[in-house]
Structures are given as structure tokens and as C-alpha cells.
Structure 1
Amino acid sequence: MRIQVLLRTAALTLAATTLAACGTETQQVALGGTKAADTAERRETVERPWGTVKTFPRLQKAEPPSAADVVFTREMIMHHRQAIELAENVRRHEGLDERVGSSARFIIQDQKNEITTMKAWLRAWQDTTGSSDEHSHDADAMPGMLPQSRVDEIAALDPPETEVAFLRAMIEHHEGAVTMSQDYLPEQSNAFVHSTATHIISEQTTEITYMRNLLKQWCEKDGPATCTRP
């Protein structure tokens, strides 16, 4: 068992050339911190439309994962992919409100980078956790996962209807990610995945508050028809 753990630790070190999840620069991440050879210090916070937020956790030396750690990571990758699709669909439109456009852009950037980090973690442990097939779970059963018709609607509607539909959909989607993370925490055993879940709770709760405020401003006075949908 000790030999297996050492091998997985080496695999994590090799796999951990990742994007800083809330930044834009590629980072060489060693277990427990950046390598001594790195000259650029990794940023711990970044600025987003919703405020100053912490960057996504680094890959780190941690305990061998449990089944719950692996399932949570796989499912969060799938969950992130739908958020990216929602954001990409709203950005197809010209003339978007700047706050909506920048929010969508950062959601795409941050969640793509988070997927990169989570996939690197899964690859490092795949020999001890089985297949890394990310489609082995029922995505529709995950909290906050939306019907494809609602995802496609974001691309089909025109502004400002699409902006309101996007905000409502992303709020619901983020609430689901927070629920998934909260449900996972009592079962966690791996420190990296634990830090991933707590980051998602903090970050996406902040984004939900920001988007709710935008939605309120839009819909208080004669907002588009999408404001009144159930």
C-alpha cells in the first residue's frame, strides 16, 4: 500500500501542470505549493465582477481518495460543463449588458480551469479508483442540472430576454453546485477534494448574490417577459 501511495504521489506531481483555476497564467504546481524554481508567485485572490475571490485550490499531497471523493469530482466536472455551455450560449449575442457579458466570460474561464485541475487529480488516482469515465453517472439527477431545452433557449432568445433567462438559469445551476458540495462534505476523506468543495460553496454563493441583484434590477420595472416566468 505504501508503494502504491508513493506512486500516486509521483503521478500527482507529474499531472499537476495546470491552469490556476481563477487566473490566466499556467502554473507549475508541486504537492503542497509551487516549485522552488518558479519565480512568479501564484496569486491567492483575483478580481471578478462579483468582488475579490480566492483562487481554486492547488493540487496537493493528500490521503488516497474514497469513492465519495471520486464521485463528487467526476460529477462536478459534468456540472461545470453545463455552466460553461450556458455562458457560451449567452455570449453568442451582440449588445449584451456589460455585467452579464463579463460574468459569462469569467464563468467560462474559471470553470474550464477548474475542470483542468479536477481532471488532473482524477488521472493521478485512476489506478486506485477505477475508470475515469466521466459519463458513468446520471447527469440529470444532479442538483441544478437543467433540461437541455433551457440551455438551448439562452442561444435562441434575443436580449434582454436572453440575459434574464441566463441569470435565472445560472442562479439555479449554481445553487445546485452548492448543494452538491454541501452534501459531499460529511463524506469527504481527501483534503484536496474537501478544499475544492468548500471553494465552490464560497465562490458560487457570492456569484449567486451578485446575479440575484442584477436580476432584481432588471425585473423591478417592466422587465422582459422572461422575468415573469414560473
Structure 2
Amino acid sequence: MASAEPAEPDQEGTEEEVSDQRPAWSRYVIFGAAALAVLLVGATLGMVLTRATDEQPTPPPAAGSVEVGFAQDMSVHHLQAVTMANWARDHSADPAVVQLAFDIGSTQLEQVGRMKGWLMLWGQPEEAIGDYMTWMPQGHGHDHAMPQTSGEASSTAPMPGMATSEEMSKLRSLSGKRLDVYFLQLMLRHHQGGTDMAQYAYDHSSNGAVRTLADSMLRSQGAEMDLMRQMLARRDAQPLPFP
């Protein structure tokens, strides 16, 4: 008798549902080689969707615009999440944490490819020249005009929600339950910072492709934040403060 196919978890899936659908070991073996393909697919998709939404020829977004700033800064923000997720995926022994990390890493890597595809199409550099977050005026939740740094080069996080170099080093030093809890805490805070950026882009961009991606981020990361809060509670842990 044919076995029933496992049901897909809903948007507010529990940790147990995630655990039951963990990927086979072979997914991890091929992930490194597949990452580049995911990035390229995302870039291609970004360019195709941008062209598809341009029903009438319009000038490409300029440097300093919401669209360009969002694509540049969110790519940097996402890449740190991919780094943290890949570390947890490869070093955690908890199937639920491994599955969540795999999902976050693969999803955000594809989104980075899409945003870099836009920047290529618009003739803009992959990273902003100067400070981060200048496309978001002061007063939208945080002091957004943060100094430009190279990711982990400073003890100060370059953008809201991002981990500092000390926090990244601590994550890599942990194992077992302590690793799982700290990863969940860092990633939850990281998502909180990212959703602020996505919400601003969704509210202020006139570009259909940008608004569609920002809305997708808000929905998927909102569900992941709910799940991470549940997972922390089951481990008798609390989220990190988010100013």
C-alpha cells in the first residue's frame, strides 16, 4: 500500500513538524556546490522579474534611492544570516535547528542573488559607497546612518539586528544546546532588524519587483520569528534584547 505523503508545515509550524521533515544527509553534502547555483538562479530571476514588471520603459533606480539602498544593504544583511545558518546547519546535532538553518540559508542566498541581479541590471555597485542605511531616514526605529564596515571587522554591528564580530566568534565556540540557543537568539534578532528594512522598502518603493520581494521577506521571516520564539521557549531561553 502506498504510503501517504507527509503534510507540509503551515506558516506557524511547530518545532516537531520541522524536525519530522529534516533533509537527508545528502542535502548537506551537495549544499556547498549548490550554493553558487542558487545565487546565480536568484540573480537571473531578479533580472527577469525586473524586466517583466517594467511594462513601460522607465529610468533605472538611482544611487541613494530606496530600491538601490535596499538591494545593497539587505544583501549584506542577508549574507551574515547565511553565514550563521550554515554554521548551525553543519555543527548542530538538533534536527529542528538543522532544518531551520538549512531553510534560512538557502532562502536568503537565493534572495541575495535576486538583489544582486537587480543591481547589475541597474548599473549600480553591489555594495553602497559610504554609510549603510542612508536610504532610510532617521526616526524609523533605529539610528540607520551607521558607519560602513566590512561585516565582522568591527565590534559594532553595521546594521540593525546584525551580530558583532565578538558574537560571531562566540557562536563558533559553542556546541550542543548552547550552540542551538545562541544561534536561535542571534537569528531572531537578525530577522527583527531585517524586517524593519523590508517594511520600509515595501512602504516606500514604487518598484513592483522590490515590493514583491520585501513582502515575501516580511511573510517568511515573520513565520520564522514565531517559530524561533517557540524553539527558545522549549529550551528555557529568552530572546536577546532588541533596541
Q: TM-score under structure 2 normalisation?
A: 0.63
Partner residue, 1:87: 85
Are the equivalent residues in 2 in contact too, given 1:84–1:112 (CA < 8 A)?
A: yes
Contact 1:83 1:173 in 2 (8 A): yes
Q: For residue 183 of structure 1, what is the amino acid of its counterpart?
A: Y
Displacement, 1:185?
2.8
Distance in 2 between the 1:77 and 1:99 partners?
A: 26
State, as a whole percentage, how many aligned pairs show the same letter: 28
Match of 1:194 in 2: 211
- State the 4+ residue runs in structure 1 displaced beyond 6 angstroms: 27-30
* Residue of structure 2 equivalent to 1:19: 41
Residue number in structure 2 paired with 1:105: 102
Matches within 5 A, 1:147-162: 147-162=164-179
The residue number in structure 1 matching 2:198 is 181
Which residues of structure 1 form unaligned runs of 5+? 1-16, 22-26, 33-57
Question: Does structure 1 residue 60 correspond to structure 2 residue 57?
Answer: no
Deviations 1:68-104 (A, max 9, x none): 100011000000011011112223425x210000111
CA distance in structure 1 between the aligned counterparts of 2:108 and 2:45, rounded to whole angstroms: 19
Q: TM-score, normalised by structure 1?
A: 0.66
Q: Which has the higher strand share?
A: 1
Q: Is the 8 A contact 1:18 1:29 kept in 2?
A: no
State yes or no: 1:132 paired with 2:129: no
**Residues 176 and 107 of structure 1, relative CA distance in 2, 3 Å threshold:** same
**For 1:112 and 1:182, how far apart are their aligned partners in 2?**
20
The 1:29/1:120 distance shift into structure 2, 3 A limit, reads closer
Question: CA separation in 1, counterparts of 2:240 and 2:66?
Answer: 37
Question: 1:132/1:190 Cα in 2 relative to 1: closer, same or farther (>3 Å)?
Answer: same
Cα distance in 1 between the residues matched to 2:80 and 2:213: 18
User: Separation in 2 of the partners of 1:86 and 1:65?
Assistant: 31
User: Aligned Cα RMSD in Å?
Assistant: 2.7
- Note the residue ranges of structure 2 that are not aligned, 5 or more in a row: 1-38, 133-147, 150-156
